[in-house]
Amino acid sequence: MQLLDELTTIVSRAAAAILAIDPATAPRRLKSDHSPVSAADEASNREIVRGLSCLLPGVPIVSEESIGTGNAALSPIFALVDPLDGTREFLAGRGEFTANIALVIDGKPKVGVIAAPALGLVWRGSVGRTAERLRLRPGAMANEAGEIVVIRTRRWPDQGLIAAVSRSHFDAATAALLARLPASTKIACGSSIKFCQIADGSADIYARLAPTYEWDIAAGNAIVTAAGGAVVTPEGNSVAYGKVAENFLVPAFIALGDPEKAKSITLLAGQ
């Protein structure tokens, strides 16, 4: 639990670093893939990398903003970081953006922490141990949380299915999959909060049948799994992490609150 608290404090400090920057005037640029990066991304990244380097010296850190492993292969334990997921939302003044840290062990995310700075919330999970939602002021230490709630995913409902969907990356294949499911409510969001909605039982499925990156989903994967759910490929396998040769690209994934539905959903995804 001490490790989870330390990671929570690091993410909290990153959240404060993000909020210290005015999105209306924040310097920004486009990366080679045409996605935006801002001064807030870079400030959060500095805070997280500094904190992880002190907490876990020698553990490789793979971050969206500073990949820099320099190795053909990673060690069995490494950190995956998305310092500001939802940069578009941040720059647009929407409060959906997050800061994310995951610890990956033997190719699987085992610990994840996600902060939503504008909401004053942190979701965290340690697989096999606990999943929680904290009300935490950005910049505060984990032991200063005003509220800690144990969270669990929910069973697949007979009716009233809720699908979390991407605000900016809702692709045709994902739309086709959701159209094959019972009538559902769609909640659009622009960051890893979608995983948190699965983990705390406020949504049932989050699918993305288009490429993304490991740092976008690793922390959410750990939290969903810790809360009783599953994150699988369209073929029904666990998502593999640490794929340096593939530039950390994840072709597609499906996050589910109810793991018992994985087989039937992946069958639908293959149609």
> Tell me: the pLDDT tens digits for 178-212?
999 987 799 999 899 999 999 999 999 999 999 99
110 in the same domain as 6 = yes
d(CA 174, CA 167): 13
Question: 16 lies in a domain?
Answer: yes
Cross-strand partners of 162 = 185
Question: 190 lies in a domain?
Answer: yes
Which residue pairs, CB below 8 angstroms and at least 24 apart, start in 135-143?
Answer: 136/8, 136/12, 137/12, 138/12, 138/15, 138/16, 138/18, 138/19, 139/12, 139/13, 139/15, 139/16, 140/12, 141/5, 141/9, 141/12, 142/4, 142/5, 142/6, 142/8, 142/9, 142/12, 143/5
User: CATH number of the domain that 179 lies in?
Assistant: 3.40.190.80
132 in the same domain as 50 = yes
Instruction: Give percent of the chain with pLDDT exceeding 70.
Output: 97
259 in the same domain as 234 = yes
The pLDDT value recorded for residue 270 is 74
Window from 57-71, 136-150, 230-244, 254-268 with minimum mean pLDDT: 57-71
Question: 156 lies in a domain?
Answer: no
84 in the same domain as 111 = yes
Question: 89 lies in a domain?
Answer: yes
- Domain enclosing residue 252, as ranges: 161-269
41 in the same domain as 60 = yes
Q: Which residue has the tokens 């690091």?
A: 10
* Residue where a domain stops, chosen among 98, 127, 150: 150
Number of domains in the chain: 2
Mean pLDDT for all residues in the chain = 93
pLDDT range class, residue 66, cuts 50, 70, 90: confident
pLDDT range class, residue 221, cuts 50, 70, 90: very high
31 in the same domain as 122 = yes
| Residue 145 to residues 85, 134, 136, 181, Cα–Cα distance (Å) | 23, 6, 5, 38
Between 260 and 37, the more confident residue is 260
15 in the same domain as 116 = yes
Question: 155 lies in a domain?
Answer: no
Residues in the chain: 271
124 in the same domain as 212 = no
251 in the same domain as 226 = yes
pLDDT range class, residue 268, cuts 50, 70, 90: confident
248 in the same domain as 168 = yes
CB atoms within 10 A of CB 268: 17
User: CATH number of the domain that 133 lies in?
Assistant: 3.30.540.10
* Residue where a domain stops, chosen among 91, 115, 150: 150
36 in the same domain as 168 = no
170 in the same domain as 122 = no
Question: 117 lies in a domain?
Answer: yes
* Residue where a domain stops, chosen among 119, 150, 181: 150
The pLDDT value recorded for residue 70 is 44
Question: 40 lies in a domain?
Answer: yes
Q: Are 238 and 209 in contact (CB under 8 A)?
A: no
